[in-house]
Structure 1
Amino acid sequence: MTLSTLGFTQSIWIADNGRKRHPDHEYEYLPDPLQGKVVRVSLAGLVEMELFEPAVPGLQGGLFSPTSVIAFDEHLGGNGDIWVADGYGKSLVHRYNQNGEYLRSIDGSRGAGRFDCPHSLWIDTRSGTPELLVADRANGRVQVFDMEGDYIRTIGADYFDRPTVFANYGENLLVGELNARITVVGPNDELVGYIGDNTPVSEEPAWPNEPDSAGIPQRTSRLVEGLFNSPHGVTSDDAGNIYVTEWLIGGRYTKLTLVD
């Protein structure tokens, strides 16, 4: 989910990948007749806009399973364009105008290479010039584009593992990595450090959960305070606190408090 501001009105963008887990099934999702889509809702929960896969030859067919959506709002210096990552589907990023009309798609091939699970999008304004960040998760890197969708550079190919989600943190950028840590990136794309690094846990059986005696995944007993298991969402507040959600049976929510 991302917050969007239109004039004086705030709305919430939600990416619905269209697939649900089944407790008796293995890792892969069961086939589901429901379509993936992104939805903008008011703070009262009323649907304001829905976007589906672009009706463009060559893009349709197969799975459309969006994982992230973000709008280039005016307060970010933008024109209202909407960017959608089809992270669990065809590994594309689509651009729509503020009215939901399709403009273009990018796949990373004119950048560092073809996306493989572009899981999250972020509009980074720290430098004063807005840039679109794409968490190219399975490739272990972040690709950076201008707001027209043209490639600029790659971040972190030498220090990311599975970049999954973004949040601002002062002059730094927080990147939640699915494989068990939060990575802090400085204003010049440099690695500042890792928080709660627990990467080896991702090699454990049935991670992010653990198997019971019959081999069926159950909530893991490997959770350790101060170490992450499977970050899937991150944000921060004005006081400098960090909030992390994790992807596992039952979930886990962690608040990291800024100390002097």
Structure 2
Amino acid sequence: MPTRKINRKDFLKQAAVLSAAPFIAPHFYIGKSKPKLSDEVIGHGKFKYRVHQQWGDLDPSKTPVKNCHEMVMDSKGRLIMVGDETQNNILIYDKSGKLLDSWGTTYEGGHGLTLWNAGGEEFLFICDTTGYVAKTTLDGKELMRIEHPSKVGALEEDKPFRPTETTIGPNGDIYVADGYASNYIYQYNQKGEFIRKFGGAGDEDDQFQTSHGVCIDNRNAANPTLLVTSRSHNAFKRFTLDGKYLETIFLPGAFVCRPVIDGENLYAGVCWSRLKYLNRTPESGFVTILDKDNKVVSNPGGTAPKYRKGKLQVMVQDQAIFKHCHDVCIDEDKNIYVCQWNANQTYPVKLERV
């Protein structure tokens, strides 16, 4: 994987900028009315946002969170979030930040959340990194489980299975990313019957280093493809729906999480970026946005995207607003809701499009 050398002068300049950036501490808001909107606007070009740091704050004594892992929006405009706090794995918000409902007490490794609209009927797929995927109704009734791939002869029984994400294909096929263990993508039909696996850990084009996320890229409606995160490669990798490698979208500096398609754009949370000596740096997250040509057009919380001779340059955190951006959800007004991992039990943050 290509890297960019950084000299001492550039490093010191970058360090000075980072140390001067404002730190916004996590704040738990308890009360009837929301605080005033932040005056801070982040992002680049046509994709700029006002930060609502306290949008999703709840009373942690009643509705606690550990890590806010992922969020989806259902057909009613409700924002559904999964986390690993077993007092309430699922939190359901309206777009004002009001809590509508909560459920789930068994998903100790609640991590991935996918919404599937099957002809008007909606279901959730919850990835639990303790070793299974659960299909549920929107109110939490469990309908099906996909368990250790050894049960279908796809993995040795003694090898771990820690699924991080799912996506559902146009025909209902279920793709499971084993991002914290084997790095394979396992494909099943909608009944949970195994079809194939592809990928695995490695540095070849068709392999992954942390296959953390997966989604169907339907921006070309006539030819949908599969986008898979290879987080430690700072990349998304594109495959056909039957697992054949097509291309890599390289995002230098950005340890991206799941790809999220909205309209013609691609969004992702960046869990870490490469700051000191170009190594992965704690608490260095931001959000990245790509256009229809997969060119980065904005990095809310990060440095402005720069291309030299057509090649994207290293992107890093620019403002210490986020710690580890784990997922984003986009509403119909193109506002972004950001979920964070390892961020002092921070609730989701809203970025209002301006």
TM, length-normalised to structure 2: 0.57
Matched with 2:296 is: 191
The structure with more radius of gyration = 2
| Amino acid aligned to 1:229 | K
Residue 104 (str. 1) matches residue 196 (str. 2): yes
Matches of residues 25-104 of structure 1 in structure 2 within 5 Å?
36-54=131-149, 55-56=152-153, 58-72=155-169, 78-104=170-196
RMSD: 2.2
**Partner SS for 1:135:** strand
Match of 1:126 among 192, 210, 219: 219
* Distance 1:192-1:257 versus aligned 2 partners, 3 A rule: same
Residue 140 (str. 1) matches residue 234 (str. 2): yes
Matches of residues 172-191 of structure 1 in structure 2 within 5 Å?
172-179=265-272, 180-191=285-296
Matched with 1:207 is: none
Matched with 2:248 is: 154
Matched with 2:324 is: 230
| Amino acid aligned to 2:247 | R
Shift of 1:57: 5.5
| Amino acid aligned to 1:37 | Y
Matched with 1:168 is: 261
| Amino acid aligned to 2:236 | V
* Distance 1:9-1:114 versus aligned 2 partners, 3 A rule: same
Is the contact between residue 268 and residue 327 of structure 2 (CA under 8 Å) also seen in structure 1? no
* Distance 1:242-1:132 versus aligned 2 partners, 3 A rule: same
Shift of 1:252: 3.8
* Distance 1:240-1:150 versus aligned 2 partners, 3 A rule: same
Gaps of 5+ in 2: 1-112, 273-284, 304-314
Q: Deviations over 1:230-257 (max 9, x none)?
A: 0011111001100001112313421011
| Amino acid aligned to 2:353 | L
Matched with 2:340 is: 246
* Distance 1:148-1:64 versus aligned 2 partners, 3 A rule: same
* Distance 1:17-1:58 versus aligned 2 partners, 3 A rule: closer
Between the two proteins, the alignment pairs up a number of residues equal to 214
Matched with 1:214 is: none
Query: Structure 1 residues 101-110 or 181-190, which shifts more?
Result: 101-110
Shift of 1:114: 2.4
**Partner SS for 2:205:** coil
Shift of 1:166: 2.3
Match of 1:5 among 117, 120, 124: 117
Is the contact between residue 228 and residue 259 of structure 2 (CA under 8 Å) also seen in structure 1? no
Is the contact between residue 111 and residue 153 of structure 1 (CA under 8 Å) also seen in structure 2? no
| Amino acid aligned to 2:301 | G
1-side partners of 2:207 and 2:297: how far apart? 27
2-side partners of 1:58 and 1:236: how far apart? 35
Matched with 1:205 is: none
Gaps of 5+ in 1: 19-35, 73-77, 202-222
| Amino acid aligned to 2:175 | W
1-side partners of 2:297 and 2:241: how far apart? 26
2-side partners of 1:230 and 1:147: how far apart? 30
* Distance 1:58-1:257 versus aligned 2 partners, 3 A rule: closer
Give the ranges of 4+ consecutive aligned residues of structure 1 lying more than 6 Å apart after TM superposition: 198-201
**Partner SS for 2:159:** coil
Shift of 1:13: 0.5
The share of aligned pairs that are identical, in percent, is 31
Matched with 1:218 is: none
Shift of 1:153: 0.6
1-side partners of 2:289 and 2:120: how far apart? 32
Shift of 1:185: 1.1
2-side partners of 1:56 and 1:110: how far apart? 25
**Partner SS for 2:232:** helix
Q: Deviations over 1:3-41 (max 9, x none)?
A: 1122331111100001xxxxxxxxxxxxxxxxx100000
